[in-house]
Amino acid sequence: MELETQRLILRKGKRGDWKDIVEGASDLNVSKNMTTVPHPYGKSDAEWFINDSIKKWNQKKGYSFFIELKSEKKVIGVMTIGGISETNGTATTGSWVNKKYWKKGYITEAKIAVNDFAFNMLKLRRLNSTVFTENKASNATQSKMGYKMEGMSRKAQRSKSTGKIHDINIYGLLKEDWKKARKNLVRKSK
Ligand SMILES: CC(C)(COP(=O)(O)OP(=O)(O)OC[C@H]1O[C@@H](n2cnc3c(N)ncnc32)[C@H](O)[C@@H]1OP(=O)(O)O)[C@@H](O)C(=O)NCCC(=O)NCCS
């Protein structure tokens, strides 16, 4: 199973993706905003992540979509739907893009396809996400995608790469929020 957008293919990881993953995730500008990515980040870290993501995908426990830029046949980021709870109809999302490719609308394009997958194919009713309060790009992205900020948690998460403790914004996207946000996003891109 893979998803396709105008510029991207969103697919399961492959062992050969490790170089592209290292290029993106070894940059502190990326990892400082995340809780799970160590620094320094090398081949064995990427191989571990790829194997773990394939295992979870096969077990239907979570889907890490590797974001492949069609024009360069290169993986420029990852968008994950993890912690799927069938009982609650919820999951948690996280994503990053290689800094060379920021601000070109790639995560917006990827999220439209992956959110559709989460709500229509997985039949979820809510996506959760948390963002460090000072992470402008990610807070902007969440608002754009229709996520509602539901609260703030003080000193709640630690960046694995920097060791710094962060306050976080807590976001939720209901299926009905997504329907509205999607209409606006698609209208703007026309
Ligand atoms: C967050 C991240 C994934 C955004 O990826 P991207 O492909 O550059 O995002 P897009 O180009 O689709 O932009 C999405 C929105 O965010 C805004 N945005 C992007 N970077 C921004 C920045 N540095 N400051 C303010 N807004 C920003 C864009 O303007 C856009 O909104 P607009 O269309 O209304 O202008 C990327 O910055 C990243 O990988 N950051 C490091 C890792 C990270 O923070 N992950 C999320 C952890 S919660």
| Ligand 1 within 6 A of CB of 33 | yes
Q: Which of helix, strand or coil describes residue 162? A: coil
| Ligand 1 within 6 A of CB of 128 | no
| Ligand 1 within 6 A of CB of 139 | no
Region 35-60: what's the mean pLDDT? Answer: 98
What's the pLDDT at 27?
Answer: 98
Q: Give residue for tokens 């919820």.
A: 90
Region 163-182: what's the mean pLDDT? Answer: 98
DSSP secondary structure of 124-155: -SEEEEEEETT-HHHHHHHHHTTPEEEEEEEE
Confidence check: pLDDT of 15 > 90: yes
The first and second tokens of residue 115, run together, are 């959110």
Cβ atoms of 145 and 111 closer than 8 Å? yes
Which parts of the chain are beta strand (E)? 3-4, 8-11, 63-69, 74-85, 90-97, 126-132, 148-158, 165-174
Region 151-162: what's the mean pLDDT? Answer: 98
Span from the CA of 99 to the centroid of ligand 1 (angstroms):
10
What's the pLDDT at 190?
Answer: 64
Confidence check: pLDDT of 188 > 80: no
pLDDT in tens, 88-105: 999 999 999 999 999 999
Whether the pTM exceeds 0.85: the reply is yes
What's the pLDDT at 162?
Answer: 98
| Domain annotation for the chain: domains and CATH numbers | 3-188 (3.40.630.30)
Confidence check: pLDDT of 122 > 70: yes
CA distance 171 to 10: 23
Q: Measured in Å, how far apart are the chain's first and last C-alpha atoms?
A: 27
Confidence check: pLDDT of 52 > 70: yes
Pocket test of ligand 1: the residue of 138, 153, 171 to mutate, having most ligand atoms within 8 Å of its CB, is 138
The first and second tokens of residue 62, run together, are 């979570």
CA distance 26 to 15: 17
User: What is the percent of the chain where pLDDT is above 90?
Assistant: 96
| Ligand 1 within 6 A of CB of 170 | no
Pocket test of ligand 1: the residue of 102, 128, 161, 169 to mutate, having most ligand atoms within 8 Å of its CB, is 102
